[in-house]
Chain A
Amino acid sequence: GQQVQQSPASLVLQEGENAELQCNFSTSLNSMQWFYQRPEGSLVSLFYNPSGTKQSGRLTSTTVIKERRSSLHISSSQITDSGTYLCAMERGSNYQLIWGSGTKLIIKP
C-alpha cells in the first residue's frame, strides 16, 4: 500500500480561513519535507522538518515521528495560497523521497 498518505485530497476554503493539511506515513523515516506546487506545475520547497515544529510566516509544519505524521497549517489563507501541497518522506541514505499524492487547496475570495 501507499507509504505516504495525504489528507484531504482537496480542500476549498474562503479567504482568511485557516487550512490544516495532514500527511501520514506507514514506515519509519529519516525526514519529512513539504512542497508547494504552483498551478502551472513548478515546485517550491516549504519546509524540511525531520521533527518538531517549524514556522515560516503564515505556515507552520509539525512532524511527530513516533506518531508517523506531519501537518502543515496555513493561517489566514490567501487566494495566492491556492495550489497543490505535497509532502515527501525521506527514507534510507540516498535521499529517495517518497511522495504523497498531494492536497489540492483552493482559496476563494
Chain B
Amino acid sequence: GPKVLQIPSHQIIDMGQMVTLNCDPVSNHLYFYWYKQILGQQMEFLVNFYNGKVMEKSKLFKDQFSVERPDGSYFTLKIQPTALEDSAVYFCASSLGQRTNERLFFGHGTKLSVL
C-alpha cells in the first residue's frame, strides 16, 4: 500500500543545534502533518500543511518550529534551536484530501534525542 517514509529513523543532537526531520509523503497526497509523541505519553498534533502553507498548528508548534515542502520534495520539520523537551518521536502523515472519508497514512517516525 501507500507508504510514507521518514528519514532518519533516529537523530541525536546537542541542545541548541538545528535539526531537520524529513518526510517523503505518498506521491499524490496533498495534505501533510506532523505529530509528536513524548515517550510514554499520548501522541499530539503539531501542524498541518497544504499548498505551501500552514493550515493549522497547535500550541506545541513553538516559534522555533517551521515546516516546508520546497519544490514538492521532502516535507520537512525544522527545529531551531532545539531544546531538551523536544526529545520525542515525530510522526509525519499525509492524506489525499481532507474530506471525512480520507485517511491518514503515517510514517514510522523519527526519534529525536536532544542531549
Residues of chain A touching chain B, judged by Cβ–Cβ distance below 8 Å, are: 30-31, 33, 35, 41-45, 48, 50, 86, 88, 90, 93-102
Contact = CB atoms under 8 A, between A and B. Distances in A.
A43 B106 CA distance: 7
A53 to B, nearest CB: 16
16 contacts: A33-B104, A35-B106, A41-B109, A42-B108, A43-B109, A44-B106, A86-B43, A88-B43, A95-B98, A96-B45, A96-B48, A96-B56, A97-B43, A97-B104, A100-B42, A101-B42
Given A94-B55, A96-B58, A45 B106 contact: yes
Count chain B CB atoms within 10 A of each CB in A93, A95, A99 and give the residue with the most: A95
A50 to B, nearest CB: 6
Interface in B26-65: 31, 33, 35, 42-45, 48, 55-56, 58
Contacts of B95: 95
Q: Is the interface of B mostly helix, strand, loop or mixed?
A: strand
B43 A45 contact: no
A86 B37 CA distance: 12
Contacts of A99: 42-44
B26 to A, nearest CB: 12
Interface in B86-106: 89, 91, 95, 98, 100-106
Contacts of A30: 100
Given A33-B103, A35-B106, A95 B89 contact: no
A41 B45 CA distance: 17
Given A41-B108, A43-B108, A97-B35, 19 more contacts: A33-B103, A41-B111, A43-B109, A44-B106, A45-B104, A45-B106, A48-B101, A48-B102, A50-B100, A88-B43, A90-B100, A93-B98, A95-B31, A95-B98, A96-B45, A96-B56, A97-B104, A100-B42, A101-B42
